[in-house]
């Protein structure tokens, strides 16, 4: 077109922007757009924002957005969607507020992105408020799917079920979301029952559906069922097992203590194992106390992901426990050289529409004294009932947090106690964490739900823990 001397217009650019596969071609196009004086066209702007976001270039996307000469609903939706999809829920929600102040009423696309932001931040109460707006757009499939996922990932399966049963139209994403949601929250049986309903209904599972099914089997210790689905997924559903399916099966075998079979499978799977594969094996080592294999798995992880602070700490704890001080020093040197530092544990809890953050070692919460004194009383009472702080960290990634005294102030304990002080007994205490829950906080939460007749839900970066009446939905494996 350019060679033949035909001038592109806004129609051309908004179409061709979608085809950008790298920053270089996008930058060139963006320059031509500016030269042609077309950068203020709303179609071109939304296309630019969208493609910058899809390439992960949020600052560039925001740059285009902030040249607020012209704008419409789609331009707002592009930038909000961009942040929501790049796991920056906070910024997505800020922009959503700005959009409302600017007088644009949200539509289905806006609400879908806002729900995704709530999902990432585990903001159940805000998600519920968005749900009220969703009702205005009756039966939008994508929006309902986002709503479903929000409730699952915020740990409210009751609400998720409510939405799911009322959806007139369900696609493979609706079914997959619900199956994975049940499984992740520890309701494996229900997940597998739903998978059966899906097949009865005549819906065709895809790659992701099967992942949810295998995840459910592994978490419920259903080794035979899981192995069966894995073996026959190609024949039954026409889906070749991918690396992630192997990851679930390694988790399944490892959980059942079949570490030899898990290793054999890693060698046979026909994919290069990635960090996720080795982490599955490492998780099994932790539960089944296999130190030598854990060292091996940790080293493999660090080869593939040299920035993984948690794994360095775990490795160093293992060496320290066997008095291998040279190796402890070596791990520490490597971390220092690479500038790797473990981020401090942080827990968030939403109370009365406000989000409270608790960070290990940070005493800035206005009610911190009340929380600490309440926590000490609770620990004292729990010890009377047989609670012993779990200070065995050999196969965990705790750093400088190992003494009984500092365990006491782990962020999730503070958040739990704050929830108990500020919410009535019938309300579920819901917490999101940035790092995995430690063994001691896990026992603490279990015993507390028994002693105090409370329900606690903690979402860590990978798993969900529903504590009730002294037991956890994860079955003590995480």
**36 sits near DNA (criterion: CB under 7 A):** no
By beta-carbon proximity to DNA, the closer residue of 283 and 345 is 283
**Binding string, residues 386-405; x marks residues near DNA by CB under 7 A:** --------------------
Query: What backbone torsions phi and psi does residue 345 show, to the nearest 5 degrees?
Result: -65, 135
How far are the Cα atoms of 171, 429, 468 from residue 351, in angstroms, in the given order?
Answer: 34, 9, 20
Cα end-to-end distance, the chain, whole Å: 57
Nearer to DNA (CB atom), residue 76 or residue 387:
76
Tokens linked to 286: 């932790």
Contacting DNA (CB under 7 A), which of 186, 212, 254, 345? Answer: 212
Q: Give Cβ neighbours of residue 309 (< 8 Å, ≥ 6 apart).
A: 335, 340, 341, 342, 343, 397
Q: Is 73 in the site for DNA (CB under 7 A)?
A: yes
Stretch that binds DNA, among 6-14, 258-266, 343-351, 403-411 (CB under 7 A): 6-14
CB of 408 to DNA, least distance (A): 31
Q: Which two tokens stand for residue 310?
A: 């948690």
Q: Which residues contact 207 (CB under 8 A, 6 or more apart)?
A: 239, 242
**Binding flag, residue 177, DNA (CB under 7 A):** yes
Q: Is 320 one of the binding residues for DNA (CB under 7 A)?
A: no
Long-range pairs, 447-453, Cβ under 8 A, ≥24: 447/382, 447/385, 447/387, 448/378, 448/382, 448/416, 451/381, 451/382, 451/385, 452/420, 452/425, 453/425
Q: Which stretches does DSSP call E strand in 302-452?
A: 346-351, 354-359, 429-433
Q: How far is the CB of 18 from DNA (least distance, A)?
A: 6
Contact status: 146 vs DNA (CB under 7 A): yes
At closest approach, how far in Å is the CB of 16 from DNA? 9
> Could you say which of 26, 61, 99, 173 contacts DNA (CB under 7 A)?
173
Pick from 57, 140, 159, 399: which binds DNA (CB under 7 A)? 140
* Of the candidate residues 156, 161, 176, 300, the single one contacting DNA (CB under 7 A): 176
Told to check if 85 binds DNA by CB under 7 A, we report yes
**Interior/surface letters 178-201, b for 16+ CB within 10 angstroms, e for the rest:** bbbbbbbbbbbebbbebbeebeee
Query: Pick from 20, 93, 111, 194: which binds DNA (CB under 7 A)?
Result: 111
Of 146 and 265, which has the nearer Cβ to DNA? 146
Q: Give the pairing of strands 346-351 and 429-433.
A: antiparallel
Looking at the DSSP assignment, which residues form a beta bridge with residue 356?
Answer: 349
161 is a site residue for DNA (CB under 7 A): no
CB 438 within 8 A of CB 406: no
452 counts as binding DNA under rule CB under 7 A: no
Residue 111 or 456: which CB sits closer to DNA? 111
Q: DSSP string spanning 40-55?
A: T-HHHHHHHHHHHHHT
10 Å Cβ neighbour count for 305?
A: 14
Instruction: State the nearest-atom distance from the C-beta of 315 to DNA, in Å.
Output: 20
Least gap, CB of 32 to DNA (angstroms): 15
When asked if residue 42 is in the footprint of DNA (CB under 7 A), the reply is yes
* Binding range to DNA, per CB under 7 A, among 154-162, 209-217, 389-397, 430-438: 209-217
Which residue lies nearer to DNA by CB, 33 or 441?
33
Q: Is residue 164 packed enough to be buried (19+ CB in 10 Å), middle (13-18) or exposed (0-12)? A: buried
244 binds DNA (CB under 7 A): yes
The yes or no reply on residue 185 touching DNA (CB under 7 A) is: no
- Of 80 and 414, CB closest to DNA: 80
State whether residue 420 is helix, strand or coil: helix
Decide: is 113 part of the binding site for DNA (CB under 7 A): yes
Question: Which lies closer to DNA via its Cβ, residue 214 or residue 360?
Answer: 214
Q: What angle do CA 255, 257, 260 make, to 5 degrees?
A: 115
Smallest CA-to-CA distance from 10 within 26, 32, 2 is with 32
Nearest to 245 by CA among 270, 215, 225: 215
Residue from the set 75, 220, 265, 407 that interacts with DNA by CB under 7 A = 75
By the rule CB under 7 A, 269 interacts with DNA: no
Contact with DNA (CB under 7 A): which of 47, 61, 313, 456?
47
Q: Is 304 in the site for DNA (CB under 7 A)?
A: no
Judged by CB, which is closer to DNA: 30, or 153? 153
Q: Are the C-beta atoms of 455 and 426 separated by less than 8 Å? A: no
Token readout for 94 is: 């800020």
| 159 is an interface residue for DNA by CB under 7 A | no
Which residues of the chain form contacts with DNA (CB under 7 A)?
10-11, 14-15, 18, 41-47, 50, 72-75, 77-78, 81, 84-85, 107-113, 116, 119, 137, 140-143, 145-146, 149, 153, 171-174, 176-177, 180, 184, 206-209, 211-212, 215, 244, 247, 276
């Amino acid at each position: 077109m350019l060679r033949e001397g035909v001038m592109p217009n806004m129609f051309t650019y908004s179409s061709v922007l979608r085809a950008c596969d790298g920053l270089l071609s996008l930058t060139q196009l963006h320059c031509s757009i500016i030269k042609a004086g077309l950068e203020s066209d709303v179609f071109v702007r939304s296309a630019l924002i969208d493609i910058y976001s899809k390439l992960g270039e949020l600052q560039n996307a925001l740059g285009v957005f902030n040249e607020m000469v012209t704008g419409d609903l789609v331009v707002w939706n592009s930038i909000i969607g961009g942040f929501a999809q790049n796991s920056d829920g906070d910024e997505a929600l800020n922009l959503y507020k700005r959009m409302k102040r600017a007088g644009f009423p949200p539509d289905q696309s806006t609400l879908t992105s806002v729900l995704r932001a709530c999902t990432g931040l585990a903001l159940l109460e805000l998600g519920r408020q968005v749900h009220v707006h969703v009702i205005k757009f009756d039966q939008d499939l994508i929006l309902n799917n986002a709503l479903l996922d929000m409730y699952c990932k915020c740990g409210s399966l009751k609400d998720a079920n409510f939405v799911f049963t009322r959806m007139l139209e369900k696609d493979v994403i609706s079914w997959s979301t619900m199956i994975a949601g049940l499984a992740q929250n520890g309701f494996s049986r229900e997940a597998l029952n739903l998978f059966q309903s899906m097949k009865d209904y005549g819906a065709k599972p895809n790659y992701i559906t099967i992942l949810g099914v295998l995840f459910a089997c592994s978490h419920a210790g259903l080794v035979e069922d899981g192995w069966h689905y894995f073996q026959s997924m190609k024949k039954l559903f026409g889906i070749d097992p991918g690396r992630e399916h192997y990851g679930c099966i390694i988790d399944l075998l490892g959980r059942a203590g079949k570490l030899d079979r898990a290793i054999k499978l890693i060698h046979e799977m026909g994919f290069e194992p990635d960090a996720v594969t080795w982490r599955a094996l490492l998780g099994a080592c932790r539960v089944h106390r296999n130190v030598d294999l854990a060292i091996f798995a940790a080293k493999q992880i660090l080869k593939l992901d040299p920035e993984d602070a948690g794994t360095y700490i775990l490795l160093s704890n293992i060496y320290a426990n066997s008095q291998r001080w040279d190796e402890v020093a070596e791990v520490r040197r490597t971390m220092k050289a690479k500038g790797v530092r473990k981020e401090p544990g942080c827990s968030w809890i939403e109370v009365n529409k406000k989000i409270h953050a608790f960070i290990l070692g940070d005493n800035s919460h206005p009610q911190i004294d009340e929380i600490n004194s309440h926590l000490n009383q609770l620990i004292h009472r729990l010890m009377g009932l047989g609670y012993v702080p779990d200070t065995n960290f050999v196969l965990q990634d705790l750093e400088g947090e190992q003494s009984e005294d500092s365990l006491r102030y782990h962020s999730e304990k503070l958040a739990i106690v704050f929830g108990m002080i500020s919410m009535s007994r019938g309300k579920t205490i819901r917490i999101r964490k940035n790092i995995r829950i430690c063994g001691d906080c896990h026992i603490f939460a279990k015993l507390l739900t028994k002693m105090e007749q409370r329900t606690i839900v903690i979402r860590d970066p990978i798993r969900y823990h529903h504590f009730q009446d002294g037991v956890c939905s994860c079955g003590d494996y995480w």
